[in-house]
Structure 1
Amino acid sequence: MTAPDDPADAAAGLGRRVWRRPLAELLRERRGVAATLLWSLAATLPALLSGHLVARALDRGFLRDDLAAGLGWLAVLGAAMVAAAVSARRVPPALGRVVEPLRDRLVRRVVTGTLRRAVGAAPGRPDLSVITRMSEHTETVRDTTAGLLLGLQQVGLTVTAAAVGLALLAPVVALLVVPPVAVTLLLLVLLLPSLAARERASLLAEERVADTVGGIVSDVRDVVACGAEPEAAGEAGDAFRVQAAAERAAARAGALRTALGTAGGQLALVAVLAAGPWLLHSGRLSTGELLGALTYITANLQPALRAAVQTTGGSAVRLGVALHRLESCAGPEPEPAPSPAPRAKVPSDFELRVDGLTFSYGAGAEPVLRDVTFTVPYGSHLAVVGPSGIGKSTLADLLTGVAEPQQGTVSIGGLPLASLDPHWLRRTVAIIPQEAYVFAGSLRENLTYLDPAASAADIEDAVTTLGLGPLRDRLGGNDAAVGSRSGLTPGERQMIALARVWLSPARIVLLDEATCHLDPVAEARMEEAFRARPGTLVVIAHRLSSARRADRILVMDGERTLLGGHDELLRRSGLYADLVGAWQTGRQEEGRPDRRYAAS
């Protein structure tokens, strides 16, 4: 899913509008910004003093045969480096207090804006895969913002400190060095829009390739049946050629950026080396001052220019492109949630009732659900079974208010979902989908996301009850980082998502095949834990064993639904009897019978 793109939109997206909001968000974290700046200033102490200390070590020590004095000045330089190293270690934690809130706010905007757009894009079931893609862009913003701030610290503060130190040590050398360095930095900044445009064109071309090839693969039977292989190959080839051209243009721009950064530092060095003999013979510089000036250039200015190449041409470009994609897909900043309208109500109990529910995707489509009616008393355990594609996940969406029926109502405590206080509904009803989402952060933050006030004892209770102990030990404790790089299996992601909801205040929980990646023993443990927890449990069953654990079972069989106990449904429902028969047969076979003979 790709947002529309045109030149005007691109210009605006890569201009002030794209940067305004994240800059404003960063400024909201004033304490974190101040701490980062202070520690960064301390970390640039060697850049300010290195040339002076090297010059004194030579002129007042080694060149006068005073070994102790020379080593003393170098010891001062070593102490400055140690202090800078200690300060540099404090920069990332301070930076995290700035960047992580930015990431969290962007995630909320992306998910909220994308869901609103997708749900409003009927007919058809909304394609929410864009959330995954935009979440990747959000992580890019988080990572590149941190890298960019660190790079700006090295470039801006280091260049400034080195230039000041050089000007105080040898003003005549500063006149040779500062102009080429300043021109290089200016040219890198001027190249930034061109680099960003090429990087963005490369990204869009890559997305076009993915969309084109994905569409061809999904319709491959129709393509073959119609004999349209040449047309499909031509369309894919065009997309690949556009991507290749965009990649080459981005590579050329990157090569120019690298060459510019290298040339700027080398020109400054060559200028000083060429003028060195004259400066020494004329008495304008001592030997120590010349070596100190070269120290400023080779140890500070040249590394800073290389960092500038990476920062302005790498991190800044990726950040600008990612921000543009987020802006185009997330839409405008969501307005603050209004106070509940007078009609927003809170029910007196939690009985879940479905009356005459009918739903279809599109005006002319056959209803997925037709005239469905049943009641789930508070505190009960309901399992929903039926063939794949029969509408079980659609029913889950309707029960949680994610989708709205064409006919009929879903109510809690006798009040339709549409009339309830949205805040109360979000805290009361929770759904765990098949593909569980794990947030970048610590295990503790993931578990307490829906209940930040959860105590350490609450977390320990959840870990013990749901069997997360081995997973926590493997990760390294409650404060261990989890996310895309922690090597979590799909089953472990489901366990974290299940524990997150188990800790939440939700009183109506729907598991939409939320245990499909767990083995039968772990699945049974999870369901028993939720059953023992206060509230109502609705399970879209992945295995028939889940149905056997439920108080009642809802069988979805195309034109009708049947509700009852296991023995009753064996008599009344041929579909349920067939599912149970296949399941019992599978249990007698070797392998993984519950996965082979599933309830969905």
Structure 2
Amino acid sequence: MIGVRRTTWAALRARRRPLGRLAAWSVAESLPALLSGLIVARAVDRGFLAGEFGTGLVWLAGLAVAVLVGAVATGRVYRSLGAVVEPFRDELAARVVDGALREATRAGGRPDSAAVARLTQQVEVVRDTFGGLLLVVRGFLFTAGAALLGLLSLSPPLAAAVAAPLVLGLVVFAAALPSMVAHQRAQVAAGEELGRSAAATLAGHRDVIACGGQERVVAVVDRRVVAQADAERTLARMAALRSLSLGLGGWLPVVVLLLAAPWLVGRGLSTGAVLGALVYVTTGLQPALHALVQGVGGGGLRYAVTLDRILRSCPPTDPNTAAGRNAATAEGGTAEGGTAEGGVVPAVRVRGLTFRYGPHARPILADFTLTVADGEHLAVVGPSGAGKSTLAALIAGLVPPDSGSVHLADTAVAAVAPETLARLRVLVPQEAYVRSGTLADNLRYLCPDADEETVAAALDALGAGPLVERLGGLAAEVEPGRLSAGERQLIAAVRAYLAPAPLVILDEATCHLDPMLEATVEEAFARRPGTLVVIAHRISSAIRARRVLVFDDDRPLAGSHEELLRRSPTYQELVGHWQELTIPAHRPLTRT
């Protein structure tokens, strides 16, 4: 939550003048809280108990005037609040839109439908809860402070007796806040995981049935439902801590006053002062504490968790940060591993690669260097937007770099014709293309001379036999619109498997397959002669690979799964996030 604190503090510092006006009007608004108990005490002692009924009414009229002044100030408070909240909301909306555009326009990127939810729901949640937090925190500071000053003017010992349980209640609440935030985050994450799991199941139900994975998928969704229910119950139990804080800080002072009243009156405290103290506690401290605990414990948690998700989903467009995250050199072997030995030409050699979408845009990759040995199985992982698909497009020669070079089997990508490049590599993107025609024509598109035995072996290796049977055999006409996303990906995978190109690049090409079928496909490509580069959708792809390249926060790092678990905080986070979804670990395959 460090990012949440920094962003909130930066938003407040940038609006010092509106905050100053808000504080000034808050002082005027707290006038009734400051004077209420004191005026009641004077009206009772000097008016009603002294037989001066008119004097008592005059004192109460003074309180009415203070209430009117506070009401006018309350209207100004809301106007000043808008000057703080609305610009912050606009900044977040711009950040979400910018992040969605960058994701949609990068190489291999795609429109992010979640950005609509972030813009129409999450940003508005942050706006509302941010304003609510400012109101309740400001209200507590000024109202509780005014009430304590009023108590101090009546009797310093009385103020101390009331302040002690108030501070105790605040301490209990503050101690419970980190746990409340953690449980709120877990509840939100559990809800999102359930939604993703259910959506993936519905979208790929034909794949699930074709692969006989019904029981496994039902078990996964059931675990998500149970996790969501557990998170909701735990969050509900946390409400008891809020009640404890309210009891200690709000009601215990009333009990202290009532029990101590005879003793205080016996030592000279007037009846009006005791009544005024009760007014301060019941109309000032109690409501202020209740608003603070409920506001921070409810809206405050939603604010922290929702803003954290926006910040993680939409990182800032800082050129220095981007360059620092994506720069890689041969120093320390960070991304170099797999270099050629004994004169063997590497399958991929990237040197000093820099790429940006436009002359003034931030670099997606900056001075990037990488070597992939012939026959190697490399998985590329990292956060969304880190540059993984851009790297795949650059290696495949689909986009030219701003500077640097890419060589495939010692051939400069920039210097060869497209037909020559097609013989060197095959790229399978996330959105698989299937054309109208027979299934056999689709599968043989990159290798027209493949005989039936070769095609059958490829289908068996990739686990596509059930799909062929469902479609009616290799001679069956394919209607692309009637295929699921997973079925189209499986057809594209078999097509790439049959291609003669020695380098295969899978750019999230199995993301719509279930984990078991994805493992089957990747293991088949790993056994296939040649080199395999996987832009990973699931962390299980990294576990299967011989070497992993992770786009770390500082710079890309390369190594085995075990090495990166020790060296890369980003990789540790990715593994921790996905570990419940990974299939049993498969050791890297050794080619013969």
TM-score, length of structure 1 as denominator length: 0.53
Q: CA deviation at 1:257?
A: 1.6
Equivalent residue of 1:64, what SS?
A: coil
1:76 matched residue in structure 2: 62
Structure-2 separation of matches of 1:342 and 1:37: 41
Structure-1 separation of matches of 2:170 and 2:360: 59
Structure 2 letter corresponding to 1:307: A
- The answer on whether the counterparts of 2:3 and 2:311 sit within 8 Å (CA) in structure 1 is no
2:146 matched residue in structure 1: 161
Matched, 1:142 2:134: no
Instruction: State which of 270, 278, 281 in structure 2 corresponds to 1:294.
Output: 278
2:263 matched residue in structure 1: 278
Q: CA deviation at 1:388?
A: 11
Distance 1:233 1:100, change over 3 A: same
Structure 2 letter corresponding to 1:211: R
Structure-1 separation of matches of 2:136 and 2:38: 25
Instruction: State which of 306, 312, 335 in structure 2 corresponds to 1:322.
Output: 306
Instruction: State which of 229, 235, 249 in structure 2 corresponds to 1:264.
Output: 249
Structure 2 letter corresponding to 1:331: P
- CA offsets 1:521-555 (integer angstroms, 9 cap, x no match): xxxxxxxxxxxxxxxxxxxxxxxxxxxxxxxxxxx
Equivalent residue of 2:110, what SS?
A: coil
1:99 matched residue in structure 2: 85
Structure-1 separation of matches of 2:198 and 2:248: 42
Structure 1 letter corresponding to 2:292: A
Equivalent residue of 1:61, what SS?
A: helix
Distance 1:258 1:101, change over 3 A: same
Distance 1:342 1:139, change over 3 A: closer
Gaps of 5+ in 2: 323-355, 362-426, 436-478, 482-592
Structure-2 separation of matches of 1:90 and 1:388: 61
Structure 1 letter corresponding to 2:297: G
- The answer on whether the counterparts of 1:196 and 1:321 sit within 8 Å (CA) in structure 2 is yes
Structure-1 separation of matches of 2:210 and 2:428: 27
2:161 matched residue in structure 1: 176
- CA offsets 1:111-159 (integer angstroms, 9 cap, x no match): 212432454372xx61411202322221111110100000012211111
- CA offsets 1:485-515 (integer angstroms, 9 cap, x no match): xxxxxxxxxxxxxxxxxxxxxxxxxxxxxxx
Gaps of 5+ in 1: 1-13, 344-359, 369-386, 390-600
Structure 2 letter corresponding to 1:323: L
Equivalent residue of 2:316, what SS?
A: coil
1:362 matched residue in structure 2: 429
Distance 1:342 1:82, change over 3 A: closer
Query: How many residues are aligned here?
Result: 341
Q: CA deviation at 1:341?
A: 5.1
1:570-581 equivalent positions in 2, closer than 5 A = none
- CA offsets 1:253-272 (integer angstroms, 9 cap, x no match): 12212222233211111011
RMSD: 3.0
Structure-2 separation of matches of 1:301 and 1:121: 58
- CA offsets 1:354-387 (integer angstroms, 9 cap, x no match): xxxxxx983995499xxxxxxxxxxxxxxxxxx9
Structure-2 separation of matches of 1:169 and 1:41: 20
Structure-1 separation of matches of 2:4 and 2:11: 12
2:316 matched residue in structure 1: 332
Q: CA deviation at 1:335?
A: 4.7
Q: CA deviation at 1:83?
A: 0.9
Structure 2 letter corresponding to 1:232: V
Structure 2 letter corresponding to 1:179: A
Q: Percent identity?
A: 40
Structure 2 letter corresponding to 1:196: V
Matched, 1:306 2:290: yes
1:228 matched residue in structure 2: 213
Equivalent residue of 1:60, what SS?
A: helix
- The answer on whether the counterparts of 1:176 and 1:268 sit within 8 Å (CA) in structure 2 is yes
- CA offsets 1:257-294 (integer angstroms, 9 cap, x no match): 222223321111101100001111221x1000000001
Instruction: State which of 67, 72, 96 in structure 2 corresponds to 1:86.
Output: 72
Instruction: State which of 245, 248, 256 in structure 1 corresponds to 2:230.
Output: 245
Structure 1 letter corresponding to 2:17: R
Structure-2 separation of matches of 1:282 and 1:273: 15
Distance 1:231 1:268, change over 3 A: same
- CA offsets 1:73-118 (integer angstroms, 9 cap, x no match): 1111111111101110121121111111101111111221243245
- The answer on whether the counterparts of 2:242 and 2:297 sit within 8 Å (CA) in structure 1 is yes
Distance 1:388 1:43, change over 3 A: farther
TM-score, length of structure 2 as denominator length: 0.54
Structure-2 separation of matches of 1:58 and 1:335: 68
1:130 matched residue in structure 2: 114
- The answer on whether the counterparts of 2:148 and 2:159 sit within 8 Å (CA) in structure 1 is yes
